[in-house]
Amino acid sequence: MSAAAAAPVSTRKSVRRGNAPRGPRHSIMSRTGAMLIMGVFTLYFLTPIWWLLVSSTKTGGQITGTAPLWFTMESIPTFFSNIGRLFTYSDGVFGRWLLNSAIYAGLGALLGTIIAAMCGYALAKYEFKGREAIFNIVLSGVLVPATALALPLFLIFSEVKLTNTLWAVFLPSLVSPFGVYLARIYAAASVPGELLEAARLDGSGEIRTFFTVSTRLMAPALVTIFLFQFVAIWNNFFLPLIMLRDQTLFPVTLGLYAWNSQISQIPELRVLVIVGALVSILPLIAAFLALQRFWSSGLGAGSVK
Amino acid sequence: MTSSSISPALAKGAQKPRRTKTFAAQRRAVLLFIAPFAVLFLAFYAIPIVFAVVQSLLTVEREGTFGAPQEVFGGFVQYQQVFQNTEFWRSVGRVVLFGVVQVPIMLGLALLFALLLDSPLLKGKKFFRLAFFAPYAVPGVIAAIMWGFLYSPTLSPFGLITSEVNVLSAELVLWAIANVVTWVYVGYNMLIIYSSLLAIPTEIYEAAKLDGASNIQIAWRIKIPLVVPAIILTGVFSIIGTLQLLAEPQTLRSFSSAISSTFTPNLAVYTTASVPNYHLAAAFSVVLALATFILSFVFLKATQRKVSQ
């Protein structure tokens, strides 16, 4: 699979050349053109989010009655009253949904990352029988669409009477073949074999070496794997849709989906859906901002020489 | 390029165990490292696939009209139904059309943005990178809700457009969904391509520059060929994603009556499973998974050949 070369964040050593001197020959024309393209698309990408932010500061009537992309005089108090209603509506079920999402995605991705890292690390740093076979199985797992698994998972979980439980969404989310694939590439690139040999000579056990030395070297990569898996679980819709009936178990996406499909019967839900959508994307945007240096730059500078 | 960046990794990984004493310890360690993933993979990946295949080979029979339903082996009965189900194949045709149009546009834009970010022409790269990537933090369901409001003639800030052209109509709704998907994923694909651009050592360009090559020539002749593997990766994921479309159309159904309950293959699976007709739904799932697998595999192979030529 040649795509191996294109792991989302490059692991190859590279000299960043951001500010390398480049001739001042670029004409004003091409500079303006480039800025113009990027400017127009910035509007495309940010306007919907801006609209969401502005709309969440309005009452139901104001959303249709006032300028859609700008605030009203009472925006600030309206926003807080909307937030208050969001978290109290239907016994505060929205807070529950946020918590559920945090469990499914946060805890799930954390455990999933550790599990994937261990497996990928073993595939990269040890020679053993069946290594290639396991890796190939994992690779084909990457190509199996997660949604194709939702229905059979539902049937299996209903055999053991575990549908409509937290486990039904949590457990399948732990498996990330793509995480293993990335972990293998990263481990191969960032954990030098000589270091492991040295640790062995020092009498450090393999497991201990992994948790104390190797995970540290792989840390930036692990953050990336965590983020990808977090987003994958947070976005997963089919599995909770098919597994869960009890709305106190819903992740926030499924909850908002349910509210949204009731708007025609209960119009006041429209405001709550809009505010809820805003509140639910904020943690992710915050996480991306906070972890920016991990996912954005070539993690590269691995410790291999 | 194709092999150059993975082979050092493999070479590093393949170290010979030197002592037999540590060898046993290493074998134990390998087992411990792999076991958790292996168990979970078996339980929640491998077994469900086998189970789906088994279910798809069963059928429900009744003795007489009022007899108790019984599951019996039905061979390829369900698959016969799958192939005769025009709704299902229409949904497959729809996502294929979607993919043929949307994936190249999305990846083209992603490549363009990545190249611009990598060029010396832009100021404020950090800002653009973040602004373009931000939609990726919006889950498909929520993106669809947002755009659903933006599309609807009464709510939209673009009322001038949406009251003239109903983007949620039967003719346009597929492209309304395409826009949502593009909006969410362009930035993500841009980053994958961009980070592989960053990994190209600058020296490669220096010579070309000394020879007076323009930025466009450098982009076209040097950069793009070097990031082909990244583009292939994004292509495969986009193909998989397209065939799996579910959250966006399902959510937009409350905004548009033009989206039927079998609009995409996965919607057909969901609808059939809610009937409930698990056996037929399982057969749909198996066909869909196989089609996805084959398509992405063929795509990988086809592009690999092109790259190596």
Q: Taking the domains of chain A in order of start, what are their residue ranges?
A: 47-88+262-298, 103-247
Cβ-contact B139, B133 below 8 angstroms: no
Find all residues with CB under 8 Å of A126, minimum gap 6, and list them.
Answer: B26, B29, B30
Choose the closest CB to A10 out of B25, B123, B195: B195
- What pLDDT shows up at residue B94? 94
B247 touches chain A (CB under 8 A): yes
B154 touches chain A (CB under 8 A): yes
Q: DSSP letter string over A7-41? A: -SS--S-----TT----TTS-HHHHHHHHHHHHHH
- What pLDDT shows up at residue A5? 38
Mean pLDDT split into 10-residue runs, chain B, 309 residues: 40 50 81 95 92 90 75 85 91 94 96 91 87 91 92 74 78 93 94 85 81 82 86 88 92 90 92 89 91 86 69
Could you give the CA distance from residue A299 to residue B196 in angstroms, rounded to a whole number? 11
Choose the closest CB to A175 out of B8, B45, B157: B45
Residues of B in contact with A1 (CB under 8 A): 300
Type of residue found at A220: P
B29 touches chain A (CB under 8 A): yes
Cβ-contact A254, A241 below 8 angstroms: yes
H or E segment at A92? helix A75-101
* Chain A, window 52-81: residues with a beta carbon less than 8 angstroms from a chain B beta carbon: 52, 55, 63-64, 68-69
Quote the distance between the C-alpha of residue B118 and its chain's center: 25
A6 touches chain B (CB under 8 A): yes
**Do residue B51 and residue A9 have CB atoms under 8 angstroms apart?**
no
Q: Is the pLDDT of residue A21 over 70?
A: no
Q: CA A200 → CA A123, A203, B162, B262, distances in Å?
A: 18, 5, 67, 58
3-state secondary structure of A237: coil
Q: Is the pLDDT of residue A61 over 80?
A: no
Could you give the CA distance from residue B98 to residue B263 in angstroms, rounded to a whole number? 12
Our CA-based measurement puts residue B49 at a distance from the nearest CA of chain A, in whole angstroms, of 7
Q: Is the pLDDT of residue A300 over 70?
A: no
**Do residue A49 and residue B113 have CB atoms under 8 angstroms apart?**
no
Report the chain A residue with the minimal C-alpha distance to residue B130.
Answer: A289
- What pLDDT shows up at residue B20? 64
Find all residues with CB under 8 Å of B303, minimum gap 6, and list them.
Answer: A2, B228, B232, B235
Tell me the Cα Rg of chain B. 25
Quote the distance between the C-alpha of residue B115 and its chain's center: 22
Q: DSSP letter string over B178-194? A: HHHHHHHHHHHHHHHHH
Report the chain B residue with the minimal C-alpha distance to residue A8.
Answer: B192
Tell which wins on pLDDT, B10 or A126: A126
Residue B93: CA count within 13 A, CB half-sphere: 6
Q: Is the pLDDT of residue A18 over 60?
A: no
Type of residue found at B9: A
Q: Quick one: tokens of B102?
A: 């949307």
Choose the closest CB to B37 out of A3, A31, A118: A118
Calculate ∠ Cα B232-A8-B7, nearest 5°.
Answer: 75
* Chain A, window 76-105: residues with a beta carbon less than 8 angstroms from a chain B beta carbon: none
Could you give the CA distance from residue B118 to residue A17 in angstroms, rounded to a whole number? 9
Cβ-contact A146, B45 below 8 angstroms: no
* Chain A, window 25-54: residues with a beta carbon less than 8 angstroms from a chain B beta carbon: 26, 30-31, 33-35, 37-38, 41-42, 44-49, 51-52
Choose the closest CB to B202 out of A17, A115, A274: A17
- What pLDDT shows up at residue B198? 85
Q: Is the pLDDT of residue A157 over 80?
A: yes
Residue B32: CA count within 13 A, CB half-sphere: 12
3-state secondary structure of B71: strand
**Do residue B44 and residue A174 have CB atoms under 8 angstroms apart?**
yes
Residues of B in contact with A188 (CB under 8 A): 9-10, 12-13
Cβ-contact A141, B45 below 8 angstroms: yes
3-state secondary structure of B273: helix
Closest CA to A50 of B96, B134, B219, B166: B134
Cβ-contact A151, B281 below 8 angstroms: yes
pLDDT tens-digit profile of A238-293? 999 999 999 999 999 999 999 999 988 888 888 999 999 999 998 888 877 887 77
Could you give the CA distance from residue A195 to residue B96 in angstroms, rounded to a whole number? 49
* Chain B, window 217-246: residues with a beta carbon less than 8 angstroms from a chain A beta carbon: 227, 229-234, 236, 240, 243-244, 246
DSSP type of residue A247: G
Tell which wins on pLDDT, A217 or A11: A217
- What pLDDT shows up at residue B247? 92
Strand partners, B69: B62
Per-residue pLDDT band at A299 (split at 50, 70, 90):
very low
Residues of A in contact with B34 (CB under 8 A): 118-119, 122-123, 134
Q: Is the pLDDT of residue A15 over 90?
A: no
Choose the closest CB to A288 out of B51, B121, B137: B137
CATH number of A103-247: 1.10.3720.10
Our CA-based measurement puts residue B28 at a distance from the nearest CA of chain A, in whole angstroms, of 9
- What pLDDT shows up at residue B8? 42
Mean pLDDT throughout A229-235?
89
B294 touches chain A (CB under 8 A): no
Could you give the CA distance from residue B265 to residue B118 in angstroms, rounded to a whole number? 38
Residues of A in contact with B159 (CB under 8 A): 68
Mean pLDDT throughout A83-89?
90
B183 touches chain A (CB under 8 A): yes
Cis? peptide before A267, omega within 30° of 0: no
To probe the interface with B, which of A206, A214, A270 has the most B CB atoms within 10 Å? A206
A20 touches chain B (CB under 8 A): yes
To probe the interface with A, which of B142, B217, B239 has the most A CB atoms within 10 Å? B142
3-state secondary structure of B59: strand
Residue A211 phi, psi (nearest 5): -75, -25
Question: Which residue is listed with tokens 């076991």?
Answer: B35
